[in-house]
Amino acid sequence: MFSQLVFYPIDLRCEHLFLPQGLNTYQPRFTWGLAGTGRNRRQTAYRIIVGTDKKAVANGVGELWDSGRIEATDSVLVPYAGKVLKSDQVLYWSVQVWDETGAVSKFADPAMLFTGLMDPSDWKAGWITRSFFPPDGRTPPQDTPYDNPYSALPADYHRREFVLSTPIKRATAYVTALGLYEFRINGQRVGDQVLAPGWTDFHKRIEYQSYDVTSLLCEGRNVLGAIVGEGWYCGRVALNHKRAGSHYGSRPAFLCQLHIEDKDNNVNFIVTDPQWKCANEAIIYSDLLIGEKYDARLEQQGWDCPDFDDQDWWNSQILDVLPQPPVLNAARSCPIRKTSQFAARLLHKTKNGEFIFDIGQNIAGITRMELDAPHDAVFVLRHGEALQPDGTLYTANLRSAQATDIYISKGGKQVFEPRFTVHGYRYIALSAPENFDVAKINLTGIAVHSDLPIAGSFTSGSPMLNQLQSNIVWTQRNNFLSVPTDCPQRDERMGWLGDAQVFFNTAAYNLDTSSFFDKWLLDITDAQTNDGVFPDVAPSIVYTRFAPLPPRGAPGWGDAGVILPWRIYEQFGDVDILVRNYGGMVRWMDFIERNNPSYIRCKALFSNWGDWLCLGKTTSKPLFSTAYWAHMADIMTCTARLLNRRQDEARFTAMHRDICHAFQKAFVSDDGVLESDTQTAYLMAISYTLLDEPTRVRAISHLLRTIEETGGHVQAGIHGIRLICPVLAEYGHADTAYDLLMKETFPSWGFTIRNGATTIWERWDGWTPENGFQSANMNSLNHYALGAVGEFMFSRVAGIEIVPGSAGRKLRLRPLTNRKIGFCKASYRAHVGEIVSHWRFDKDCLLWDVKIPPNCIAEAELPETQEDWKLDGNNIPEDMIRPDISGRRNRLEIGSGSYRFSLDWSQ
């Protein structure tokens, strides 16, 4: 039977993805959310169908798996239990659910997935590259169009023509590159993702993409084409000038395997091999840090179509990948795409003749140029985040990154859009030929980032808070580019672990980061050393032969190898990620304990960055390091308990106890003052439970004193900033937390916004009226770490908290209402469904609307303690009230559905 109330599954995911481009397991996990009307709705059973026929699956028929009715409330990461999956399959799956009345839903619209090539033996293709040597041998050095001062390589163009003599049933292409690629068939681009396959440690692992290309092939002659650039593999990466590029290899390579199935189920293969032809074309170079130079006069029209004359092209060469071919994995995260566009507005012409354009938002992306220009005309586009006082482009903070695109016109109307570069910028400086009418040019900024699903929204009655939320989200988008980078503009752009772990909770509220961090944790694991040391950056890169290891093992950075798996479990309920990473987590804890037998963490600290970018007094680094060790010991205790490792649980419980005793003896005075007496010192000691109760009470008073001594301002670096507002609110000082959040004088988030910021700055003093720009040696205006306050905005200002490990099935709703901002409305689309909290002051009434998805329960804490709260205009039922230990009756337990609470102060 079907329920009269609406109740149905939504948001079907497999391995955290809406559309997996291949599987790395024979037992993928399925997740779905629930939607419905009414209250206290819950799933009591489910039935999953998996098969190859979409219509059949929609009707509940699947030849690979029919789970039958399974009595279970769980809808998160349910493992596949059907017939053994095979490579090169396109599958569909669906689910139906039973509710608490026994009524059953219809099957959800089937979701598709590629199985990919699951066994290494499935790969028949070879890595192809352009030969170092022309067919007729070397020639003396001479000027060519491809000479450039950076020794950057031109993009390689590969093509393979073949004939199909019979109609095809299905065609799937499996594609990747050591470098970056754009894949084409018969003159058309395949897919919409860019900068594929993304960034990994290419010495160990590389991801491939799967494409259904059935509609692009035809009977007769066909052509596969690829444009291949240097990218992260052999282009410029990071900030080491002695080894600007070639961290993994010296020249890019391409890998493609096309499976063509005919109507009789026969499968033919077209693979990368020496039958492919190769040449260079219009892309003189296209480097992530330098930019792209494109000479449109060198275009070879139709190179990726049949009947093109490629007799002057070379045969592609098979590359012997050193030190060994990387492991091929299916893509684990969402593709990088072009997502948003910003029309550029001409501001002025500078004294040096450049035209300055503003796109209005600091982004990571590229600039599209539409123009009508004469043959041979040269246009130069430089990119930067800010302008100098004289109106010229500010680029000193880019360091060695050029962020410059050069276009040479082929004549007439044309469009230039770089392929294999990305810039962090808001402003464009355009140089055009003398007397050229700039009105004939249209510039558009295009944002480029990993296209993660939107998870949260936040708005309030404060324009400043709304802009802060926008700044946080845009900084996250700009830096979530295959890996979570620190900045998108200068010659760094590395996956710093410390920045990412402090920002993780904020990131998860904004975008669905489940697959993104699942992939990045593998990069971290790949970089862990044999003695257990986690890196400071991932993917790992080779620095120089004199310093072969990248930064590693710093407290708060290397510690992310323990912290992030636990946070991912807390947010998304993924126990498997703890199982997968547990061994590496233990080895890191072993390393720290082995080197610090006194339980004060003062040795084997490597770079030891401390509370990075703190203003004012510096937090004691031994205190900082030891606090993080205690935090990890607590995480390891919880992890061992969850995984039923009782001996380890006892070990880490004792470790946490011993660290706490050592910490209090070493760093805490009799009156509760901590060594260095900084905001971050108190925040870490309180948040990471390092103090006994009397000492904690004194520490809170000292924390308040340090805030008063700074005139009510934040004086914390990236590690303290995540903790300051939550700790204040948790211990009864919400007004102080709000004051810090809303402050507009220096240093504060409001100060940066008042001075034009559209993203989060790396430094509180990135620019000040008194001193102008901070040191160009390190001054990004697009750095998310100080945006970690976004977690507080969702969890306490709006009041949406996920109970750890529940994936949203259990919630804590605790908004901190505030008349100064008037209202706050936020939503979070967890994997189980959408959660909404909306409070507002309406004259003498405080209203609070809550929406909880089916299958979820929440502990709701009313913002005030008055007894006269109403629910839908009536007294709150007694069976909802859950008094706390002190007897306060402002806590309720509520199930799914929509609720309106109201408090009338007019009486």
Task: Please identify every residue annotated as catalytic.
Answer: 492, 762
**DSSP assignment string, 472-521:** HHHHHHHHEESEE-S-SSSS----BHHHHHHHHHHHHHHB--HHHHHHHH
* Residue tagged 């936020």 (tokens): 826
Q: What angle do CA 446, 447, 450 make, to 5 degrees?
A: 140
> 91, 111, 112, 97: which is closest to 832 by C-alpha?
97
What is the sign, positive or negative, of the torsion defined by CA atoms of 342, 348, 350, 355? positive
Measure the CA–CA gap between 711 and 309, rounded to whole angstroms.
73
> 332, 403, 327: which is closest to 364 by C-alpha?
403
Beta-carbon contacts of 128 under 8 Å, excluding residues fewer than 6 positions away, are 158, 253, 254, 255, 272, 273, 274, 276, 278, 316, 317, 318, 319
**DSSP assignment string, 333-357:** SPPEEEEEEEE-EEEEE-TTSPEEE
Measure the CA–CA gap between 470 and 510, rounded to whole angstroms.
10
Residue 146, classified by CB atoms within 10 Å of its CB into exposed (0-12), middle (13-18) or buried (19+), is middle
Q: What is the dihedral of CA 817, 822, 828, 832, to 10 degrees?
A: 60
Measure the CA–CA gap between 523 and 501, rounded to whole angstroms.
14
Residue 896, classified by CB atoms within 10 Å of its CB into exposed (0-12), middle (13-18) or buried (19+), is buried
HSE, side-chain direction, 13 A CA sphere, residue 345: 5
Contact of 702 with 685, CB cutoff 8 Å: no
839-865 residues labelled b (16+ CB within 10 A) or e (exposed) = bbbeeeebbbebebbbbbbbbbbbbee
Measure the CA–CA gap between 629 and 592, rounded to whole angstroms.
8
Beta-carbon contacts of 326 under 8 Å, excluding residues fewer than 6 positions away, are 178, 200, 201, 202, 203, 204, 205, 206
* Residue tagged 């976004």 (tokens): 790
- From residue 335, give the alpha-carbon distance in Å to each of 25, 55, 110, 515: 20, 27, 21, 11
Structure tokens at 356: 């300055």
Find the DSSP H helices in 541-643.
Answer: 560-572, 575-595, 621-642
* Residue tagged 């139906």 (tokens): 96
Measure the CA–CA gap between 596 and 21, rounded to whole angstroms.
45
Measure the CA–CA gap between 154 and 156, rounded to whole angstroms.
6
Contact of 724 with 716, CB cutoff 8 Å: yes
* Residue tagged 């000292």 (tokens): 702
Residue 212, classified by CB atoms within 10 Å of its CB into exposed (0-12), middle (13-18) or buried (19+), is middle
Rg of the Cα atoms in the chain: 29
